[in-house]
Structure 1
């Protein structure tokens, strides 16, 4: 860890020191480019400081990926379209690309901050016309935007916690307002960003003393540091200066991060703050073992009752609940022990507004350091329509994409999961999507050039969940696990050996049930079968399990029968033989 943390804060590409005095669109584009580069440069060091809400070492990565998705949208806006279109693209991209608790909060923060350039009417300060600042940004609107950003970020979180990025956002809003209140001169936009940045830095320097888990680990809040990076980029683009005074671990967002004598210390000068990053012992995930994120989309704009209701639904299932967005599109995040119920809650809420859930992803938040050291392992992405299998897939180390029954994965959703696997090479089990024309080529094009995908991305022919279950089971029992050099070969051989069949028992009369299941088993089970996996929907009659076991016993008396609940609300039965 120390070697990674000793990297200079300015390492990597960045747009530091660029002063843009042109239109607001140019200033906004320059800020987006600078912040994206800066977040990438500090990603690993911020990851190493991440202990809250869980110590999964990914806050820096999540902030970078969230902002990078917004920057990608901005890159697609034709130059000259105007600041409003650029701001809208940034907001849209960060919302859809949000990763983790920190990324979801950042996306909502940027929605508020975008008001500085996205509104057409002149802003006022205390009833008088507000002056313009560098980059064409209206000063009064900029001050209001810092306040709106802080309110929005706090409002998106079900249970706000002091000492986190939310406190830094509140401080930035106060700092911006105080510049206007000082009244010594007519302020410029760069004066406002200077006040906001310094206040956020000072609050970040105090974060260790405000949150027990930060105090015990001797670190600053990683999310607050990330916000300082974003605000520092904005300040530089408007012509301001951000000190990168050397600390033993360099400076992140103008806040010095260094090592000392075993205690966290800070001063009123945030740029002289020194913090001791200890290797924090992994803690129990208080709200749950799994992180669940999904996008809820409605066909027409609806009110914020959707977000409020969804926050309440998810809060009943776990913690770290964030729901961000609006105007028909929301991104939801929760840590929970019940990922299937969390996805189901999103789908129920979507039905109330005639909408749908997309990008429903599940991953384990335990053992998070595997991501930080993941370049030596094989990452796994599994696409499934069986939410009941998501916990076991995730425990096996997979990033899980949960689809509606009958749906086929879109390449862009799978590409997001590939990036989230954060491994030297990634093996994708896309289900029926593999049969879609051009799927492999489209997936390859989407991940090509992504900085966090540094190795091969292979696609495994696993058309059903039965194939995926067998492949992951083989990997777990091979002794190598995802770190082994032959992980891909082990899974490929296991999946190829599966014979699978399915039956829909809906409407089958009770007196015909045994015959229907016996025929299904006969199609796939042979005398040499060793393991039979049965995947059953919630509406399958209870005695079907016994009937399948009896049918297997007639053909392969020594075979082990494993019954798994699919979590689907149907009467489907799938049988796989190995």
Structure 2
């Protein structure tokens, strides 16, 4: 197969044979195929036998063989990924000379360094292994705020040997001291046959929570400005009691958390997959095509396709001055986001919402989903529905109430 073809590349190219390495591009393709196999089947492919070298491909340079010692063999750290472990992003209030020094410091800590801005406000992005050091470097030269740290690795170290497929083991009961063991969670499902497959969705807003529950999902509620913990997602998987589960993080910053929760679920015999939903409207689209009656991998592919085909936008209000892709916003400005980036800075919510919706429909679409929060202006949904009806023939509109905990407006276009 692909690994056999990769092993043959040194015989096909003299420079590879002289260096004693395999083709870096081919090795990268195998890594992509391995990841795809893991996502679709829930099982990691077997590691290659007797790996003696890894390949580091550097732009403009020849491939360099890097010996693999005992600690770097795939079997020694099955969950380790190459490259820095964390993505660190923050806004920084600092003078330009101090930012020059910060660039040098962060460049020594990791890679993918981007520092842009001016007039005392800078946007910092870097991939590092020591996230704390990257933040401390910002503190040393100015005032970092809106700090975001995302885990880039595909999973965390295993919590023990993976159980063979079979019946889901019972949840641990409380010990005699009254303290529940780690990873324990009460079952909320009534007695009876356990479901074959469950969906765990992270949502903000009671309206969305009710909608997802009506669709059969196990819901993990989080506050509007907060996130979900790995333990909460894993506990939800256990509460569902299914042998197969699909997780919908509905937030790009919760994807790593969901991946680690899925890994823990696999350790106790649950087949798990994470759909990379970046917004609640993508989660709704995935739930709409969820079919527990088909094979697990077919269901995962269908849900992933539906989520990926849904463009998402949001309208919210800035809480403080900040640098954005559309310029500097002030506290109280209305922000219109498309695919996570600020595209519009406006003065009123209704006008900004109409602008964002029009931008999203400029690329086409067949259905618009509006999730209207409790702080949206009265009649906003009706105005946007009329905008779609009069300006985009053949496009349907569906409106949901976000209720308490939801932002002013979420938009999805499929």
Superposition TM-score tier, normalisation by shorter sequence = 0.3 to 0.5
- Which structure would you say has the larger RCO, counting Cα contacts within 8 Å and 6 or more residues apart? 2
Structure 2-normalised TM-score? 0.47
More helix, by proportion: 1
Larger radius of gyration: 1
